[in-house]
Structures are given as C-alpha cells and as structure tokens.
Chain A
Amino acid sequence: MIEQLVVLNPAAFSWGMITPVLPELVLLAIGVALIVLDLFAPRQRQLLPWMTVLGVSAVLLVNLGMYTPAEPGAMLRNDAYSAFFCTLCLASVILAALMREFYSTQVQSHQGEFYSLLVFSAVGMMIMVASVDLITIYLGLELMALPIYVLTGMHKKDLRTSEAAAKYFLMGVFASAFLLFGMSLLFGLTGTTNVAEIGAYIGRNNLADNASLVMALALLIAGLCFKVAVVPFHMWTPDVYEGAPTVLTAFMSVGPKAAGFAVFGRIMLAVFPELHANWGPVLALLAVLTMLVGNITALVQSSLKRMLAYSAIAHAGYALLGIAAGSASGMAAAMSYLFIYLFMNMGAFAILIIFSQGVEQGESIDSCRGMASRNPVLALCMLIFMFSLTGIPPTGGFTGKFYLFQSAVAAGYTAAVIAAVLLSAMSAFFYLRVIRLMYMSGPEQQPAITAPSVGMLVVLGIAVAGVLATGLVPGALFDWAQRAMLP
C-alpha cells in the first residue's frame, strides 16, 4: 500500500509519462485560453480565429513529429495511423476556424465559446484516433461529441438550431449506449479492454462462432454506423446538418466523421479480423444502401445545404466500402478518400456560406443562378468542387474513388462496386445542376455578394489546391495512407 502511495508524491512522479499526451494537453490549454481571452479581452475578439489556427497548427506539427513506441497495456498510441487521422481532423478544425472568421464582425455570436468548444472537440478527436483501448475510445468519442451538441444549439434565437441540437443529442446518446453495451460484452468475453489483446484472445480461443461475440459485433457496428451516419442509422444527419450553423455543418461532415471512421477501422481490423466473413458483406451492403439513399434523396432537394448533407451521407457510403474490404489497402483507400473529401466538402460549404449571405433563403439552390457572371472566380471554384464530388478527372474525387473501387474489387465485392459506379454516375445529375444554374442561366435582380473575408479566401485556396493536387499527383497522399496501414 505504502509503495503505491508514492505515486501521489509529486517528486516521485515521472513526468516523462505524460509526454505521449502532451499535444492533447497543449490543445486543452489553448481551448481554456481562448475562452478566458474572450471574457477578459472582448475588444480583441477578431484575433480569436487566428489564435485558434496558429495554436492548432502548432499542435499538429508537434503531434506529427511524435511517435511513441507501442507499449503493452498502453491506452493511447501515436503511430502512423493516428498521425494520418490527426492531421485530417485538425486540418478540418483549422479550416472551420478560418471559415468562421467570416462572421467575426458579427456581435453577440458567441465568438469565444465557438472557438474554444471547437478546440475541445479537437482534443476528443485526437484521443479517439490514437486510442487502442475501449475506455479511451469511448471517452474520446464523448469528448468529441459533447462540445458539438452545444455548438449545434448555440444560436438559440434561430429555431432550427435548437431542434437540430435536440435531434443530434438524442441520437448521439442512443448510439453511445449501443456502442457501450457491445464494449461491455467484449470485456466480459475476453477480460481486457485493450483492442489488440481482445483481437489476439478471440483468435487464440476460436471464439469466432460465439453467439455473444456476434452480438457484440452487431452492437458495435450499429453504434459506429450511427456516428458516421450510415443507412439505416442516418435519419438524424440531414436535419442536423441543415439546422446547424453552416460552418459547423462543414466541420461535422468532415472532422468528427473521419475520427469515427478511424475508430471504425481500428475496431474492425484489430478486434474482428477473424470475423471478416461476417461483417464484410454486411458493411458492403450498408455501403451500397447508404450511397443509394444519399444520392437519390439528394436529387430532389431544393436547398443547397440539404443537398450537401445528403451528399455527405453518400460519401460516407463510399468510404465504408474501403472498410468493408477488410484489407490494409482498402482502409488506406478509405483514409485517402476521407482526406480528399476534406478539401472538396469544406470548399463547397465555404462557397455556400458566401453565396447564402447569412440568410436562410440564400441556402436555396437558386442562389447559384447566374453566379458565373456575378463572380466568375467563385463560380470556377464551385465548379471544381462539384466536379470533384461527382468524381470527374482530373480532380481528387476521381482518384479517391478509383483506389476505393479497386480495393473493393480486389476484396471480391464486384457487385457492390458496380452499384457504386452507377450511383456515382447518377450523382452527377444534382452536382452538375449547380454548375448549370451558375453558368447557363441569367442573373436575376440580386444584390451583389459581399467580398469573402481573408479567412474564407485562404480556405478556398487550400481547398482548390488540395482537390487539384490530389487529382493530378495522387501518389504522395496514397503512399502516406499505405504507410500508415503498415503494422
């Protein structure tokens, strides 16, 4: 007992132990600093987005340079896999902060709270992608989700946001409970919460036919599918994405979804490789259903924001195909696709924010009408993003889909890939409709659009460069993802 209490003595505490979580701790400190600054220096509020961007970029660089060796029993692991997803998630935070700078002149829009909650959510995502233990996976997931519930409902004056927050919150809690029940069954079966040890235990004891294990697998898949918005667990997505503030929608459809996929891939490939025959076809079927529902429902939307919400569902289906393949190359393809999706989706939402001018009617697809003559540069950017979302070369969307479909065919899901190709051809209809409205219909009597802010221009620059770079020279990104999947 005495020996154990020595741990409480600060002099005997080994500070080296906290080095692996240092980036998370720094990010936490930045989040606290942001809200304190908002409170005590209200005149300097326009600096908050830039501080967020600087702080998160610094943490990202530190985290990239940090590889801790895998220790048995460790709950977090900074490996190439977590570094890849960490870059993706933190990049989405940086882009969201830059986009939010557009609103920095608005009064009473909770500037400090927005950035600080965004950063807290980023801490949760970092923990999620680095965790190799069920406890930390759950804690990271909740730390990521709780600030987003608040962010969704923050503008209390707008009726839509409270409703979106309530729906998101209820569905999130429900999904977490499913995930947890699956985790508790796994713990009971194997006696450990470490992901790799659970996988090894299942392999060692031939538990693949155990009914409880299959039950745990089903519960985990249901919980994770809720989190990444896969049909039939997607009902909350369109409403929440439409009701939330647009900057947050852009962030939610990229960062937290990528973190969810990181956990999904980690659990499926590390815990259940023996059961791939069970979950592979199920996930492939869910992926096709997701693309079907996402793409068909997007066809009939008259709101651009809601159309992009359904397109986000469809794209989760494409990425899920990579996980369903159950191979390292499939996961690598899904990872690169999510990275490309970061650029094209953030870019499309940035344009939506500029076009809509902050009013609800502006979110209609008609606000694109005649945009090519009103602002040709913005119209050209939107053209590139829409081409990429459809999957037309030479954009990143094409190369990403190409590698995904290739890995799914290699895993034997030819029928699913044929369905995916057909549905992605169908998606051209609603993506290209935006382009047709921009280029081929005359401008109506509309007020000139306000010039985008500096942050918005940076976002558009990064997004266009990212989409074109991943389309023209895809090698670097795919090599990085492949390396991240090496054991």
Chain B
Amino acid sequence: MIPLHWYVGLASALFCIGVCGFLTRRNLIMMLLSAELMLNAVNLNLVAMSYYLESLRGHAFTFFIITVAAAEAAIGLGIAIALYQHRRSVHTDSFTDLKG
C-alpha cells in the first residue's frame, strides 16, 4: 500500500505548481487553470486522507469541491468572454483601466 505521505507530498507539489502558475502566468485562462490545479491538489489530499482515516467526510467534501469548481469555471469563462469582446485579449497586462 502506498503510504499517506506520498499522497500528501504529491498534493503539496501540485498545489505549489498551481500557485507558481497562477503568479507567473499573465493569461486569464491559464490563471484559471492553475487555480483549478490547486483545487485538484486539495481533492487529492482529501480523498487520500479520507481513505486512510476510514471516514466518508473527505469524500463528501471532494464532491462538493468538484461541483463548485465547475460553477466557478463557468463564471470565469463568462467573464473572460466579456473581457475579450471589449479588448480582443484576456491578458492581465491589458488590465489598465483601474489604477491608483
């Protein structure tokens, strides 16, 4: 059986990749994907811990997170489309209307 630390290690690595991607990428879609990666790291963590603790709470939590992530993606892409209609770009460098 694979020990729990491996799962937690993998989840932490995925989470860090997500954080790095979110902070370095300048495309809204790529930032959204990085955030999804972070959420999936959490899912992996919860499912592995739930399995080892023999508790169903973590599994239930994971399902809720997956559902909410889907709703978030829908809204995020909607906002990206609204932005693209105006600027023909979804790069965060073009976000220059609000400053100060």
Q: Which residues of the other chain, B, contact A170 by a CB distance below 8 angstroms?
A: 22, 28, 31-32, 35, 76, 92
Assess whether A163 is in contact with B71, with CB atoms less than 8 Å apart: no
Interface residues of B in 64-100 (CB under 8 A from A): 64-65, 68, 71-72, 75-76, 78-80, 82-83, 85-86, 92, 95, 97-100
Contact A181 to B45, CB < 8 A, known contacts A142-B68, A173-B76: yes
A242 and B98 in contact, given A156-B85, A159-B86, A181-B38 (Cβ under 8 angstroms): yes
Residue pair B42, A184 in contact (C-beta under 8 Å): yes
Residues in A with CB closer than 8 Å to B80 are: 166
Q: Which residues of A have CB within 8 Å of B11?
A: 184
Which residues of the other chain, A, contact B79 by a CB distance below 8 angstroms? 149, 153, 162, 165-166, 169
Max count, chain B CB within 10 A of own CB: residue among A134, A185, A188, A301: A188
Hey, which chain B residues are within 8 Å of A188, CB to CB?
8, 45, 49, 53
| Residue in A139, A177, A191 whose Cβ sees the most chain B Cβ within 10 Å | A177
A165 to B92: give the CA distance in the assembly, Å. Answer: 12
Which residues in B have some Cβ–Cβ distance to A below 8 Å?
8, 11, 15, 18, 22, 28, 31-32, 35, 38-39, 41-42, 45-46, 49-50, 53, 55, 57-58, 60-61, 64-65, 68, 71-72, 75-76, 78-80, 82-83, 85-86, 92, 95, 97-100
A residues 275-313 touching B (CB-CB < 8 Å): 301, 303, 306
Q: How large is the interface on A (under 10, 10 to 19, 20 to 34, 35 or more residues)?
A: 35 or more
Interface centre among B45, B57, B98, B99, by most chain A C-beta atoms within 10 angstroms, is B98
Given A150-B75, A192-B57; A139-B68 close (CB under 8 Å): yes
Q: Is the CB of B39 within 8 A of A177?
A: yes
A40–B75 Cα gap in the complex (Å)?
A: 25
Chain B residues whose C-beta falls within 8 Å of the C-beta of A176 in the assembled complex: 39
Complex-state Cα separation, A238 to B11, whole angstroms? 33
Known: A162-B82, A177-B42. A138 touches B64 (CB 8 A): yes
In the bound complex, residues from chain A placing their C-beta under 8 Å from that of B95 are 163, 166-167
Supply 8 A–B pairs (Cβ within 8 Å), ascending by A. A135-B57, A138-B64, A142-B72, A159-B86, A169-B75, A170-B32, A170-B92, A193-B61
Residues of A near B55 (CB, < 8 A) are: 191-192
What's the nearest-Cβ distance from chain B to residue A180, in Å? 4
A374 near B: Cβ within 8 Å? no
Q: List, in ascending order, chain A residues with CB within 8 A of B92's CB.
A: 166, 170
